[in-house]
Amino acid sequence: MPVSELESAEAQAAAAGGDAKRAYVQRIFSQIAPRYDLLNHLLSFNIDKAWRRRAIASLNWERAPRGTYVDLCAGTLDVATELSARPGFQGSIVGADFAEPMLRAGKSKTVGTRIAPVTADALELPLASGSIAGAIVSFGIRNVAGLDNSLVEVARVLEPGGRFVILEFSTPSSSLLNAAYQQYFKHVLPRIGGFISGHPTAYRYLPESVANFPTGDDLARRMQAAGFSKVRWRPLTFGVVAIHVGEREGAA
């Protein structure tokens, strides 16, 4: 089998989950870290910045402005940086990601902030139970090897009433728009991403991982099963992405 076909098969296998996913995701995100920010903004036509701001607004950090928050699968720390700059925010942020080169690529953003980059797996966070005021993950939860286990782990570290916000790719409800979206996502994006990043499969993995990830009501149900209450979700940009919000059960 040619190398390109082997690489594509590896991306498909990783997107489907299982033992291969963790090692594959850690490796490719470590490799594309130097150009990750550029590609995010370019491939989303710079809309990703507005999506992240909407997700942060859903976190309700004003409830505990001095609390400790987790930016899960933090990558280059865009979300942590944006949250730390919110007027009135006086808390601290743990930026957790198991691909250390991603955190290193974003470390310059943390100067003068209370952001602590931590190399950690979303399945086993080095945090005490009930110690976190809120958690957020931006385009990272679908890369975790065990979705349900990671949801339970986030619920474990949250204090009662703390919110968990998930910003992730979704599927447009319009069949016409979805057809155009799929063409871009499966054919245009992988070519541009592969060329700029220098990685042949990282941006082939992306549409495969989205196709294998539960969206909408399915993700909401899994959040509820993991211990979250008041779970709700809403689509953004015609359903290209969605924000899911849940609260840790046990609030007074």
Q: Domain holding 78: CATH number?
A: 3.40.50.150
User: Residues 141-157, buried b or exposed e (16+ Cβ, 10 A)?
Assistant: bbbbbbbeebbebbbbb
Q: Running along the chain, 252 residues long, what does each successive block of 10 average in pLDDT?
A: 56 75 90 85 86 97 98 97 97 98 96 97 97 97 95 98 96 88 85 80 84 94 97 96 94 46
Which residue segment(s) compose the domain that 86 sits in? 3-248
Beta strands in the chain (DSSP E): 68-72, 92-97, 115-119, 132-138, 158-169, 228-236, 241-248
Q: At 154, which amino acid appears?
A: V
- Tell me, what's the pLDDT at 7? 61
**DSSP 3-state assignment of 167?**
strand
- CA–CA separation, 30 and 36 (whole Å): 10
* Residues 101 and 173: beta-carbon distance below 8 Å: no
Q: Total domain count for the chain? A: 1
Report the pLDDT value the prediction gives residue 252, as an integer from 0 to 100.
43
Give pTM, 2 decimals: 0.91
